[in-house]
């Protein structure tokens, strides 16, 4: 699973997720890509699950780029704990996703195989996605 090696501050405020993705919204490395249509958070487990689905479908052929990294700490209090007594400990890490962000890129495969692989990967993600190819 992906997570930062070292962070300057262990806990972060939630913040907001307005606007569209400006950076990381075009295909840079591969020929085909999976683009986010919704906004939300992708946990490191969801990213890894989608990556495994793509690798399984492509039989480890071609080259895959993961264009998102979970660097936002998400905190969670234990179950049946009373309110108060400070902020909870970090539970997991997530990547902030805005509409238009490229999540995965693929190269070295046929279009039909890439479409199937990205369809399987998108079913593992909690946001709507779209298959795009390089112009």
Residue that is written with structure tokens 């509409």 in the block? 99
For 26-75, the pLDDT digits (tens) are: 999 999 999 999 999 999 999 999 999 999 999 989 999 999 999 999 99
- Residue 18: inside a domain, yes or no? no
- Residue 14: inside a domain, yes or no? no
What distance in Å separates the CA atoms of residue 94 and residue 44, rounded to the nearest whole number? Answer: 6
- Residue 24: inside a domain, yes or no? no
Total domain count, the chain:
1
List the domain range (segments joined by +) for residue 60. Answer: 39-75+90-133
CATH of the domain at 121: 3.90.1170.10
Model-level pTM?
0.94
The set of residues, in sequence order, having a beta carbon less than 8 Å from that of 39 and lying 6+ positions away, is 17, 97, 98, 99, 127
């Amino acid at each position: 699973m992906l997570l930062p090696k070292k962070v300057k501050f262990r806990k972060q405020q939630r913040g907001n997720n307005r606007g569209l993705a400006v950076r990381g919204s075009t295909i840079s490395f591969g020929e085909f890509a999976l683009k986010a249509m919704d906004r939300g958070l992708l946990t490191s487990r969801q990213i890894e699950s989608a990556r495994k689905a793509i690798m399984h479908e492509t039989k480890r052929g071609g080259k895959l780029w993961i264009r998102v990294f979970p660097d936002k700490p998400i905190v969670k209090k234990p179950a049946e704990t009373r309110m108060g007594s400070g902020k909870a400990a970090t539970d997991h890490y997530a990547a902030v996703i805005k509409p238009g962000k490229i999540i995965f890129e693929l190269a070295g495969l046929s279009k039909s195989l890439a479409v199937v692989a990205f369809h399987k990967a998108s079913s593992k993600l909690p946001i709507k996605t779209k298959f795009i190819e390089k112009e």
